[in-house]
Amino acid sequence: MKKLLFLFVGLGFIVISCDKNDDNPLNPTSGDVTVQNFMWNAMNDWYFWQAEVPDLADDRFANNEVYTEFLQATPNPLDFYNSIQFIEDRFSFSNEDYNTLVNSLNGISKNNGLEFGLVQFSDGNNIFGYVRYIIPNSDAATKDIQRGDIFTRVDGQQLNLDNYRELLFGDNDSYTLGLATIENSTITDIEEEVSLTKLEGLTENPVLVATTLDVNGQKIGYLMYNGFTRGFDEQLNAAFGQFVANGVTDLVLDMRYNPGGSVNSSRLLASMIYGTRTQDLYIKQRWNAKVQEQLSSSQLEDYFASTTGAGTPINTLNLNRVFVIATNSSASASELVMNGLAPYLDIIHIGETTRGKNEFSITLIDDSENDYVYNSSRENQINPNNSWAIQPLVGRNENADGFFDYTNGLAPDIELGEDFGNLGQLGNLSEPLLARAIQEITGVTSKSIFREVIGTGEEVSNSKLHAPLRDNMFLDKPINLK
Model pLDDT for residues 394-414, shown as the tens digit of each residue: 999 999 999 999 999 999 999
Q: How many CB atoms lie within 10 A of CB 458?
A: 9
Pairing of strands 199-203, 108-111: antiparallel
pLDDT value at residue 6: 40
Average pLDDT over residues 335-359: 96
Domain with CATH 2.30.42.10 in the chain: 109-202
Cβ pair 363, 474 in contact under 8 A: yes
Higher model confidence: residue 105 or residue 372? 372
Residue 10: band (very low, low, confident or very high) from pLDDT cuts 50, 70, 90: very low
Residue 24: band (very low, low, confident or very high) from pLDDT cuts 50, 70, 90: low
pLDDT value at residue 456: 60
Residue 47 has pLDDT above 80, yes or no: yes
Higher model confidence: residue 18 or residue 168? 168
Residue 454: band (very low, low, confident or very high) from pLDDT cuts 50, 70, 90: very low
How far from chain centre, in Å, is Cα 228?
7
Q: What is the phi-psi region of residue 261: left when phi exceeds 0, alpha when psi lies from -120 to 50, beta otherwise?
A: left
The burial of 271, by beta-carbon neighbours within 10 Å (0-12 exposed, 13-18 middle, 19 or more buried), is given as: buried
Nearest CA to 388 out of 190, 99, 183 is that of 99
Burial 134-154 (b: 16+ CB within 10 A, else e): bbeebbbeebebebbbbbbbb
Nearest CA to 348 out of 407, 404, 414, 401 is that of 414
Residue 474: band (very low, low, confident or very high) from pLDDT cuts 50, 70, 90: confident
- Locate the DSSP E strands across 204-354: 207-215, 218-225, 250-254, 281-287, 301-303, 321-326, 346-351
Q: Lowest-confidence range among 3-12, 179-188, 296-305, 431-440?
A: 3-12
Nearest CA to 80 out of 116, 39, 117, 47 is that of 39
Residue 18 has pLDDT above 90, yes or no: no
Residue 141 has pLDDT above 90, yes or no: yes
What is the share, in percent, of the chain residues with pLDDT greater than 90? 74
Average pLDDT, rounded, for the chain = 90
Average pLDDT over residues 217-246: 97
pLDDT tens, position by position, 263-314? 999 999 999 999 999 999 999 999 999 889 888 887 799 999 999 999 999 9
Ordered alpha helix ranges (H), 320-410: 333-341
Higher model confidence: residue 300 or residue 23? 300
For the entire predicted model, the pTM comes to 0.87
pLDDT value at residue 477: 62
Residue 449: band (very low, low, confident or very high) from pLDDT cuts 50, 70, 90: low
pLDDT value at residue 450: 53
- Greatest Cα pair distance, the chain, in angstroms, is 75
Cβ pair 187, 217 in contact under 8 A: no
Nearest CA to 442 out of 249, 254, 275 is that of 249
Residue 8 has pLDDT above 60, yes or no: no
List 196's β-bridge partners, or say none.
175
pLDDT value at residue 478: 54
Assign 442 to helix, strand or coil: helix
Domain 204-360+397-448 grouped into CATH 3.40.640.10: no
Domain with CATH 3.90.226.10 in the chain: 204-360+397-448
Higher model confidence: residue 478 or residue 124? 124
Average pLDDT over residues 459-481: 75
Residue 480: band (very low, low, confident or very high) from pLDDT cuts 50, 70, 90: low
Average pLDDT over residues 95-114: 85
How far from chain centre, in Å, is Cα 163?
25
Helical axes 64-72 vs 34-46, angle rounded to 10°: 110
Average pLDDT over residues 471-481: 64
Assign 364 to helix, strand or coil: strand
Angle at 257 (CA atoms; ends 254, 261), nearest 5 degrees: 95
pLDDT tens, position by position, 184-199? 889 999 999 999 999 9
pLDDT tens, position by position, 237-268? 999 999 999 999 999 999 999 999 999 999 99
In the chain, the N- to C-terminal Cα span, in Å, equals: 14
Question: Alpha-carbon dihedral of residues 63, 65, 70, 72, nearest 10 degrees?
Answer: 150
Domain 109-202 grouped into CATH 2.30.42.10: yes
